[in-house]
Structure 1
Amino acid sequence: MTADVDIVRAVARAPLRTLRLKDMPELARNTWRATDRLVEQGALVRLTHGVYTAPPDGRDGRKWKPPLEAAALALATARFGAREAALMGVSAARHWAAIPRAIGVATVAVPRRGYAPLNIEGGGLVKFVPRRMEALELVLERTGLGDGLVTTPEQTLFDLLGRTDREGLGREVAGAIENLTAQVQPDEFAEIIARARIVPSGARDMLNRLEKSNG
């Protein structure tokens, strides 16, 4: 039982309370069996194959599940490292309350390409979007599993304007674009446009609209 406690503590101390099985210290004779047992007991939650999170505040993992956006960011952080992943696009819009209802897809910016989408146990698909992290406007925000990076409202609006594949979320994206305008500062949005190598169609029209509404 001491090994079980040590495993839970190791997961809880990891960034966003999430750790891959391959990164766990050798605390038990068979760590794989131990984590399965801890999931059955509700001490851990399996996000996807080989990735586990520790429910916060002593919650029972058999009843509690993390929000999809928090789970997606935690999963990407476990894979790429702390501060090496960020909620973006529709997931950032969800964080900023620009999309009111839950959706089944989460998008996370990551520093490398070539990673296939992953299904979260309990529902939801996580898509990894390769981006130069240093080129994004990011802020540290509280999620259901701890502090993580999220694109700013300005960056989120810019990214949503550039979406060509809306994965059946056209209505949600259009609504998010409208809802974000109330949170966006025109000067910060203008800086993102000025730095961008590719500017989405409609971004400059949006800037004109923001400047007029704030004039």
Structure 2
Amino acid sequence: MARSAVAVPAELARRNNRVIRPQDAAGIYAQPRPEFARLVRNGAARKLAQGYYALVPDRHLGSPAWRPDLHSLALGIAQCDYGEGGAALMGVGAARVLGAIPRAVAVTVVAIPKQRPPLDTDYGRILFVRRTLDTLDLERADTELTQGWITTPEQTVLDLAARPTLGGLSQGAVTEALRALWPRTDTELLEELGRGQRKAAALRRARALVDAEGG
């Protein structure tokens, strides 16, 4: 498909978050839903789930094989609903973006400020966890669809060890992720977070798993 055949309004194309909802384009289109369907047909967007779409990055325009990254789209969806400061990838999602999980997974986890049921998208399942984001240790990350917050290696270690089954990883995969993250952590910060978040037991569990695997 020729790039010239794809027409995305400038107001949408320059958004920091390339995940969009029809209501986000209410001031651009008189009837956003039919226009979004047209963008999907033209290859300029992908439908993610009911009410959510992703604008195809410029470098992938004209490539029908492109699939949005689950963790990136999950962060984008959460930002749509709770704002950039109200969402952060955590657990499996953060570990994957941090490079601690080498293989693609079909589930991701996002911290948000309220209870919400899982969302099944065309590219995987999003699990939402209610967390007070200003109590988490976060860092900025660039993803293919948005920029936003993810948990730091230290926070991710604690979260994986505290809830190892969240996201459906095997115990071996969790241990592998912990081992990959461990050299990147600050011991003093880990201990401080463990005490402050009442996750001292999770920290001991993580250390035991890493030591056992390393031995």
Indicate the TM-score class for this superposition, using the shorter chain for normalisation.
0.7 to 0.9
Q: Distance in 1 between matches of 2:209 and 2:103?
A: 26
Determine if the alignment matches structure 1 residue 119 to structure 2 residue 123.
no
Does the C-alpha gap of structure 1 residues 145 and 31 become closer, same or farther in structure 2, counting only changes over 3 Å? same
- Cα drift, residue 116 of structure 1: 1.3
SS in 2 for 1:70: helix
SS in 2 for 1:125: strand
Q: Deviations over 1:152-201 (max 9, x none)?
A: 000000101101534541222121112111111101111201211x3253
2:3 matched to which residue of 1? none
2:154 matched to which residue of 1? 154
Alpha-carbon RMSD across the aligned residues, in angstroms, is 2.4
1:163 matched to which residue of 2? 163
User: Is contact 1:137–1:152 with CA below 8 Å preserved after alignment?
Assistant: yes
2:111 matched to which residue of 1? 109
SS in 2 for 1:47: strand
User: Is contact 1:93–1:156 with CA below 8 Å preserved after alignment?
Assistant: yes
User: Is contact 1:162–1:200 with CA below 8 Å preserved after alignment?
Assistant: no
1:87 matched to which residue of 2? 89
TM-score normalised by structure 2 residue count: 0.85
Determine if the alignment matches structure 1 residue 173 to structure 2 residue 174.
yes
SS in 1 for 2:111: strand
Q: Distance in 2 between matches of 1:142 and 1:17?
A: 12
**Letter of the aligned partner of 2:151 in structure 1?**
T
- Cα drift, residue 59 of structure 1: 2.4
SS in 2 for 1:106: strand
Map 1:8-87 → 2, pairs under 5 A:
8-60=9-61, 62-87=64-89
Deviates more, 1:35-44 or 1:14-23: 14-23
Deviates more, 1:55-64 or 1:127-136: 55-64
Does the C-alpha gap of structure 1 residues 87 and 167 become closer, same or farther in structure 2, counting only changes over 3 Å? closer
**Letter of the aligned partner of 1:89 in structure 2?**
G
Unaligned runs of 5+ in 2: 1-5, 211-215
Q: Distance in 1 between matches of 2:120 and 2:205?
A: 37
2:203 matched to which residue of 1? 203
- Cα drift, residue 43 of structure 1: 1.1
Unaligned runs of 5+ in 1: 211-215
Does the C-alpha gap of structure 1 residues 118 and 194 become closer, same or farther in structure 2, counting only changes over 3 Å? same
Q: Distance in 2 between matches of 1:7 and 1:209?
A: 49
User: Is contact 1:140–1:147 with CA below 8 Å preserved after alignment?
Assistant: yes
Deviates more, 1:141-150 or 1:20-29: 20-29
2:135 matched to which residue of 1? 135
**Letter of the aligned partner of 2:106 in structure 1?**
G
User: Is contact 1:189–1:207 with CA below 8 Å preserved after alignment?
Assistant: no
TM-score normalised by structure 1 residue count: 0.85
SS in 2 for 1:83: helix
Does the C-alpha gap of structure 1 residues 209 and 107 become closer, same or farther in structure 2, counting only changes over 3 Å? closer
User: Is contact 1:117–1:125 with CA below 8 Å preserved after alignment?
Assistant: yes
- Cα drift, residue 144 of structure 1: 1.2
Deviates more, 1:198-207 or 1:174-183: 198-207
User: Is contact 2:108–2:126 with CA below 8 Å preserved after alignment?
Assistant: yes
Q: In percent, how many aligned pairs have the same letter?
A: 33
Q: Deviations over 1:110-161 (max 9, x none)?
A: 1111x1111122x210111110000000011111113211100000001011
